[in-house]
Structure formats: C-alpha cells, structure tokens
Chain A
Amino acid sequence: MMKRLFVLGLLLTVAACSQYQLVPAGNVKFVDDGATTSTPVAWNGHNTESLYTWTQDGPLLENMLFHINVKDGKTLTKGLDVERTFDPLAVLFGTVPDEVSYRFNKAMTEPEIMDLFTASYARIFGSPVTATNLRPATLGGEPGFRFEYAFTGKDEVRRIGIAVGAVVDSKLTLVHYYGTEMYHFQKHRDDAEQVIAAFRFDKKS
C-alpha cells in the first residue's frame, strides 16, 4: 500500500510540476467533457483524463480542481483505481490482493458522495480529510450539493477547501477549491467562487 501511495504521490507531484498551460481570463471550455465556465482572472492549468487542475500561485498553495462527468463505477481519479493494476490471472483465479477501490455509484446520495470525496482525497493527500456543512446547492443550474473540507498535509500545513457537485445523467461532476488556511485559500476564494458560479453543462444536442 505504501508503495502505491508513493507512486500516486509521485504522479501527482509530476503532474503538479509539468505541462501547465495558461488558462486565460474569459470563457473556458473543458474539451470533450461537455462543460464550460468563465474566469475573471488567468490561471495555470493542466488536465489529465477528466481531471482539470488550475492554480494561480502554485499547487502547494492553492488549487482548483474539476472532476467532470465521473461515470458510474469509476474512481475519482484513475490513479485511485488499484484494482485496474491487478494481474488478470489473479483476478481469474480469485487470488487478488486484499485491496479495494472506492468508486462512484450513480445511486449514491449526497452524504455518500461527500464520503467518497474525503476517502479519495485522504489517499491523494496522504492525510485524513474532514468535510462539514453538507447542504443542497446547484452546479451549472443542476440540483446538487456543497460542503467545506480541511486537511493538514504531510508538510504540517493546514489547508481548507470548498466543494460543489451534482450528478447529471448518472455522472458525477465535482468542482472544488482549496488553499492554505493561513493565506492562500482566502486570497483566491472569490475567483474560485466566480468560476463555480459560471460553470455550465453543455446542452445535449
């Protein structure tokens, strides 16, 4: 497990350090994922398989993340799906390791989705994540939910965040923003709130 977490952390670190591109102020289209938003300021962004990550001052200080259209039976990020790494022969003979991945289920209720979020990000951050104040909200005009969360990373810096999500056409979309509690969360919070408010799902053709 520690090896897997290390690899996961490494991948996130590599992802966090590379392939950033300018996300200019204005309208933004999430290519192939059927959603748009607009931002009042420019961000540095990169994306990997339906996960879009934006930051202004750097990924260690604040991040805005978009999990767009997570399908039924999928993990929040591909790296969290440990079962996909199982040897097919081991799967066939039922000798797989004692490891299970926590997956989105289209029947999940909002508290269960929040639990999916905290459990998934506890693995990503390597520290427990606590979420509070779950309540109804809208995302892209669709009925959804909103909550706050917090965690203290391995660097002993406490970070806080907000998350807004909705299940549309049996697929989960979750937009969240977090930053250091001491300064950076508040610094870019208004920008993040405006991005969330402007988020829209593309209409079906």
Chain B
Amino acid sequence: MTLSRRTFAFGLAGCAISSLGGCVTGGYQTAGPTTDLVQRGYRPDLNTDEAGVWLTAEKNEKLLRTSATRIRNPEVNALVADMMCRLVGEYCPDLRTYVVRQPIFNAFCSPNGMVQVCTGLLLRCNSESQLAAVLGHEFGHYLHRHTMQRIRDDREWQAWTNAMIVLGNSPNVQVLRHNILQLRRMSYSRDNERESDEVGFRLMVKAGYDPKAAATIWKNVAEERDAGDIDDDFDAFTATHPPTDERIETLTELAKQAKDQGRGASDRLADAIAPIRGMMMADEINLGHFKQTETVFNRLIHAGRDVGEVLYYKGELYRRRGKDGDEAMALGFYHEACEAPGAPPEALRSVGLMRWRRGEKEQAREYFQRYLAVKPDADDRAMIQSYLVGA
C-alpha cells in the first residue's frame, strides 16, 4: 500500500478536524502513483481502488456487448479496431473498440480499455486521419490513467477542503467548498485533455496519418458551433475541455513541426461507413439542430462522395423544419438528389409526395412509378399504389 504524502497529510488533517468523521481517504489503497503510464497487459491489484473502477467498467462493457445501441456492421467495426491497433501498437490486445449509435461528436475510453466510438463522430470525420486523431486522443486518457488520476486528485481535495469545517458548517461554507472542488475538477480535466491531444497527435503521426487532420476536426467543430450560433461558452474555471480555438492552434503548430509526414495516408473511412451513413444522417436530423446539421451535410456534399444521398437528407432536413419556403427548398434538394450519384430510392418517393401535396398529380405519378420500379419490394408499396390509383 502506498499513500502519497500529500494524500496522507490532507487526509489526516481532514479527519482530525472534521467533527463529522467524513474521512474520505480512509480504507483506500492506491496501486502506485497515477502518473505512471499504463504498461502493456496491465491489470490493477485487486486490493486497490483502481480495481473497483475497473470492475465497474467491465460490468458496463458486458452490458455494451449485447446492447441494441451497438453498430454491428462488420466493416465499420473492423476498420475502427484496425485503426486502434495501428495507433497503439503493442497495446492492441488491451483495447476493445465498440461503435455505438449516438449522434454526438464523441468517443470514450474507459480505464479497462473499453473504447466507445459514437456514430456522430464517424459522420463528422472526413478522413481516416481525422478519426485517428480522436482515437489516439482517447488512448492518451487510457495510457495516462486519467480517470484514476481524477478520482484520486478529487479525493485528496475533498480531504483538504474538509479542513474548511473550521470556518463553520454554514450553507455558505458548504457552497464555497463545493465550488472549490468543482474548479479543481474542471481545471484538472482540461490538463488531461491537453495531454491526450498531444499523445493522440504523436501516435497518429507515428502511424503514418496526416498530421493536419487533428486540427481540421476541431476546425469542423468550431464551424458547427458558429453555424448554430452557439456561444463559445468556454469558462476558464468550469469547462472540462480546453477551448476549441486553443486546441486548433496547438494542433496546427504541432502539424507544422511534423512537416511532410503522413503523405499518402490511407483513407478507408468513407467506404467503411457508407452502409450506415444514411442512418447516421437521419439520426442527426432527429436531434432538431437545423443549422448545425446543415453544416455537417454541406461538408459531406463538399467531400463529394455519394452526393445524392446527402442531398436527399438535406431535403429531409428542410421538409421537417417546415418554415416558410422550406418546402420549395426541400423539393429542390430532392430533385437534385435524384440526378446525383448515391441517391436512395426514397428521394424519388419524396419528389412524388411533395408534388402530391401541391396537387401536381401527374408529376407525382411519374416519381411514384419510378420509386416502385427502383424499389419493387418497398414496404410502403400499398400506400404509394393508392396514390397512383388516386392520381
């Protein structure tokens, strides 16, 4: 058992002073300084607090394995797993990746090596290198045992702030203590994020990915934020992550230092996510963030792959909002989609439905027929045929 001196001193002070007897350090054993990097094949000693955190993570992972939120597409899972191994080298057997259906820009790495990659992240990565930057970042949290660092740091500060009992036990003191702990947690978290950004960058360059991609993904985040008129609500005291602009600046500078590395980096992402991209775009629309979603879709259109599919979903985005002029915009996008590569059959149906709404029944009939010709086993065939009879 090893307790840091600071833990011991703060814990002792807190315990001695607190009349409530709330000694938060009592009974814990730490496995060693959390500044140590995780070693290949690492598992914490069962007598430690870290083992408890791992057991919780393992329980969550067991649930995740059979969860309906998991994306089962083999190509997507194979790519993410392969990328992770490419990035982390000898640590590969210790990490397990899971793609989960969540339309948010995020990924998570638990202390036990469970890595969750959200579909919202996949949709926003325009290249394999961009995704590599995020996966590398998540490995940084794992490698540096950030979760345990945060838990233990929090415990130390809780013990230390117990000493504030000498100021009395009034609500004001309680609030002050709470605020001090919050500020510490947030500040600590930001430092962890910066450290992981650097780890992620180093690994992606070493693995042969494009160094510029790390900053690009954050530029995309900033672009979405600006489109959504979202205040850059970074607060130096309460934000858990560094400000986006700072991350862009740092990663851009690192990319300059990396110079020409990463030329000819592989880019298998677009192929791998193609079968689930429509589902991801539909989930994105369901969030109801019109401007941000349009920014994401515009970026996909600019990327130029299967533009017909993106234009169809852009039409859906406008139709669902349903403000003045949106119907005409939607119809325009549906028409464009029908003429572009990659459009789903539903683009034809949508033109028909929009024409039907407008009473343009002959044009509607044409598109309904085209839809049923392309998709003869459509499960709404009976409904569409009823329009054809009606038309």
Contacts and interface: CB of A to CB of B under 8 A. Distances in A.
Given A105-B322, A109-B357, A98 B349 contact: no
Interface stretch (A27-35, A129-137, A167-175): A129-137
A101 B319 CA distance: 12
Contacts of B322: 102-103, 105
Contact of B321 (A100, A127, A156): A100
Contact of A122 (B67, B227, B286, B291): B286
A72 B321 CA distance: 14
Given A98-B290, A156-B68, A136 B383 contact: yes
Interface string A90-111: 0000010111111101011111
A43 interface: no
B260 interface: no
A128 B320 CA distance: 17
B353 interface: yes
Given A98-B291, A111-B349, A156-B66, A135 B380 contact: yes
A119 B320 contact: yes
A198 interface: no
A136 B382 contact: yes
Contacts of A128: 101, 283, 286
A14 interface: no
A185 B320 CA distance: 30
Interface string B356-391: 110000000000000000000001101100110000
Nearest to A133: B379
A152 interface: yes
Interface residues of B, number: 33
Contacts of A108: 357
A128 B387 CA distance: 28
Contact of B288 (A99, A107, A110): A99
A102 B323 CA distance: 10
Contacts, number: 73
Given A82-B288, A98-B290, A152 B68 contact: yes
A67 interface: no
A102 B293 CA distance: 15
A111 B69 CA distance: 26
Contacts of B289: 1, 98-100
A123 B300 CA distance: 25
A145 interface: yes
Contacts of A109: 353, 356-357, 387
Contacts of A158: 68
Interface string B72-86: 000000000000000
B287 interface: yes
Interface string A110-144: 11100100010011000110001111100000000
A81 B290 CA distance: 15
B229 interface: yes
Contacts of B286: 119, 122-123, 128
B1 interface: no
A112 B320 CA distance: 9
Interface string B226-237: 011110000000
B114 to A, nearest CB: 17
B108 to A, nearest CB: 15
B361 to A, nearest CB: 12
A135 B386 CA distance: 8
B85 to A, nearest CB: 29
Given A95-B229, A100-B321, A109-B357, A132 B288 contact: no
Interface string B272-310: 000000000001011111111000000000000000000
Nearest to B356: A109
Contacts of A112: 319, 353
A105 B285 CA distance: 18
Given A109-B356, A136-B386, A102 B288 contact: yes
B95 to A, nearest CB: 24
Nearest to B289: A98
Contacts of A156: 63, 66-68
A126 to B, nearest CB: 11
Nearest to A151: B68
B288 A135 contact: no
Contacts of A101: 288
Interface in A153-176: 156, 158
A175 to B, nearest CB: 18
A98 B292 contact: yes
Interface of A: 1, 82, 95, 97-103, 105, 107-112, 115, 119, 122-123, 127-128, 132-136, 145, 152, 156, 158
Given A1-B287, A145-B383, 17 more contacts: A1-B288, A98-B230, A98-B292, A99-B290, A100-B320, A102-B288, A102-B322, A111-B353, A111-B383, A123-B286, A123-B288, A133-B379, A134-B383, A135-B380, A135-B382, A136-B383, A136-B386
20 contacts: A99-B288, A100-B288, A100-B290, A102-B288, A105-B322, A109-B387, A111-B353, A111-B380, A115-B320, A123-B286, A127-B68, A128-B283, A128-B286, A133-B380, A134-B379, A134-B383, A136-B383, A136-B386, A152-B68, A156-B68
The 6 closest A-B pairs by CB, nearest first: A152-B68, A98-B228, A135-B382, A134-B380, A98-B291, A109-B353
